């Protein structure tokens, strides 16, 4: 990215400035033991095939696919646990099909992730991903998800209310199952906020647009999702190349969405990096890598990096750096939320961050 000299100088002043490094996120800490709760409404059994020179309309014989009983809340949790395997203040809470309950339980136990599920009569959806390691393409086939009945949803609300304590961090990530209303995240965020928890929304479409109206503390849209919130006013092309003017334009539009309750917007731009928008600061950062293998779940890993440091009251710069390193590390290893700690450490030293405002 090309920038003029004054912009680069501003970066240096900023990086040496005290403000960002000393800024803390939680002013008053509760004496209760806080936790991170990652909400899983629409789990997925991810099936990943590796096919060289993949083309539409052809037939392929494949080796055993990789199978991950996940969902975005689990990808988030896997990435977070990679940063610190002994981190125990994390819990996945959500729905899972009765038939897949064992698969999920065993997988989460193996990964030392605490969980609580409301079992659903229907079958958990299965999503297929085809990775072409030669042409560097990724193809996704997605199913919609199971039917959730009113009694199951009520059970979910009751358990969630019992679980939440003041200053918990609650992550609402992924799609809403087709049988639930698109205002489900709005209702859940409103409920959880009443109990004094911090809320983070990472979803798309109607669920995102309606969910934002509940004013979560933080949102993490990618550019397409931000454009949905802004009703298409970004007018970004598919193959856009990011430049300084674009970053300023995106940040300004995003900043208009902030208010007393919605404090932070993290806009992820895939390989072009990410933007952090806060009332008093806007940062742009990226890490250059060659040979991304699998970008599914980069956003979840990005959020995991941010929340891991946020939960520990690190500076926003440290939260943002770790987010970039985790998002990028996720692209280097197949599987959503699967990353290597050594890649994260290596990428942290390659992170470039600029102050935009
Ligand atoms: N090809 C890549 N090279 C370098 N970094 C990447 C690449 N893809 C993703 N990242 C990193 O991961 C972050 C999140 O990626 P992205 O914007 O694709 O999230 P997303 O669209 O929410 O993904 P998902 O919803 O699948 O988790 C980016 O901001 C960037 O830091
Ligand atoms: Mg995403």
Q: Is it the case that residue 26 has pLDDT exceeding 50?
A: no
Please tell me the residue having the least CA distance from ligand 1 atom 22.
299
Report the C-alpha gap between 208 and 229 in whole angstroms.
7
The predicted model gives 10-17 an average pLDDT of 38
Q: What is the DSSP string of 294-339?
A: --TTHHHHHHHHHHHHHHTT--HHHHHHHHHHHHHHHTTSSSTT--
**Ligand 1 and 67: CB distance under 6 A:** no
The predicted model gives 285-312 an average pLDDT of 96
Q: Which residues pair with 116 in a beta bridge?
A: 93
Q: At what angle do helices 298-311 and 72-83 cross, to 10 degrees?
A: 50
Percent of the chain whose predicted confidence (pLDDT) is above 70: 90
Atom of ligand 1 at shortest range from CA of 285: 31
pLDDT of residue 22: 34
Of the listed ranges 24-28, 189-193, 298-302, the least confidently predicted one is: 24-28
Of the listed ranges 82-86, 184-188, 242-246, 248-252, the least confidently predicted one is: 242-246
- For residue 103, CA distances in Å to 44, 99, 108, 299 come to 11, 8, 9, 24
Report the C-alpha gap between 304 and 79 in whole angstroms.
6
pLDDT of residue 205: 97
pLDDT in tens, 300-330: 999 999 999 999 999 999 999 999 999 999 9
Neighbours of 170 (CB within 10 A): 26
Percent of the chain whose predicted confidence (pLDDT) is above 90: 77
- Rounded to the nearest angstrom, the distance between the alpha carbon of 271 and the centre of ligand 1 is 6
- Rounded to the nearest angstrom, the distance between the alpha carbon of 151 and the centre of ligand 1 is 37
The predicted model gives 62-73 an average pLDDT of 88
pLDDT of residue 83: 98
pTM recorded for the entire structure: 0.87
Please, what is the average pLDDT of the chain? 89
The predicted model gives 178-186 an average pLDDT of 96
The predicted model gives 138-150 an average pLDDT of 90
Ligand nearest to the CA of 203: 2
Please tell me the residue having the least CA distance from ligand 1 atom 19.
299
| Cα angle, residue 195 at apex, residues 193 and 201 outer, rounded to 5° | 30
3-state secondary structure of 34: coil
Q: Is it the case that residue 82 has pLDDT exceeding 60?
A: yes
Q: Is it the case that residue 223 has pLDDT exceeding 70?
A: yes
Neighbours of ion ligand 2 (CB under 5 A): 299
Q: Is it the case that residue 171 has pLDDT exceeding 90?
A: yes
Tokens of 157: 């609300």
**Ligand 1 and 337: CB distance under 6 A:** no
**Ligand 1 and 331: CB distance under 6 A:** yes
Domains in the chain, CATH or no CATH each: 32-355 (3.40.1190.20)
The predicted model gives 192-204 an average pLDDT of 97
pLDDT in tens, 90-141: 999 999 999 999 999 999 999 999 999 999 998 899 989 899 999 999 899 9
The predicted model gives 29-41 an average pLDDT of 80
Atom of ligand 1 at shortest range from CA of 301: 27
pLDDT of residue 220: 98
pLDDT of residue 237: 66
The predicted model gives 14-24 an average pLDDT of 38
> SS3 breakdown of the chain: % helix, strand, coil, rounded to 5?
40, 20, 40
């Amino acid at each position: 990215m090309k920038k003029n000299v004054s912009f680069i100088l501003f970066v240096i002043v900023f990086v040496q400035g005290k403000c960002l490094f000393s800024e803390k996120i939680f002013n008053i800490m509760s004496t209760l033991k806080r936790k991170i709760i990652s909400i899983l409404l629409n789990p997925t059994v991810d099936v990943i095939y590796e096919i060289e020179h993949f083309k539409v309309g052809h037939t392929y014989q494949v080796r055993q696919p990789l199978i991950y009983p996940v969902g975005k809340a689990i990808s988030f949790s896997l990435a977070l646990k990679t940063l610190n395997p002994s981190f125990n203040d994390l819990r996945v809470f959500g729905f899972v099909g009765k038939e897949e309950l064992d698969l999920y339980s065993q997988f989460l136990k193996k990964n030392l992730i605490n969980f609580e599920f409301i079992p659903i009569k229907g079958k958990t959806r299965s999503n297929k991903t085809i990775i072409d390691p030669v042409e560097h393409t990724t193809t996704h086939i997605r199913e919609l998800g199971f039917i959730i009945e009113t009694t199951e949803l009520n059970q979910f609300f009751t358990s969630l209310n019992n679980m939440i304590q003041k200053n918990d961090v609650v992550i609402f990530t992924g799609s809403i199952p087709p049988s639930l209303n698109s205002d489900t995240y709005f209702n859940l965020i409103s409920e959880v906020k009443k109990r004094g928890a911090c809320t983070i929304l990472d979803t798309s479409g109607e669920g995102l647009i309606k969910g934002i109206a509940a004013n979560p503390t933080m949102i993490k849209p990618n550019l397409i999702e931000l454009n949905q919130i802004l009703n298409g006013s970004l007018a970004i092309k598919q193959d856009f190349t990011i430049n300084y003017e674009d970053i300023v334009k995106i940040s300004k539009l995003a900043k208009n969405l902030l208010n007393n309750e919605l404090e932070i917007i993290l806009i992820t731009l895939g390989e072009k990096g990410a933007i952090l928008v806060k009332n008093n600061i806007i940062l742009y950062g990226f890490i250059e890598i060659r040979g991304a293998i699998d970008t599914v779940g980069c956003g979840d890993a990005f959020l995991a990096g941010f929340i891991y440091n946020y939960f520990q009251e690190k500076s926003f710069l440290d939260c943002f750096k770790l987010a970039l390193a985790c998002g990028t590390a996720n692209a280097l290893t197949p599987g959503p939320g699967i990353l290597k700690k050594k890649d994260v450490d290596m990428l942290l030293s390659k992170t470039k961050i600029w102050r935009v405002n």
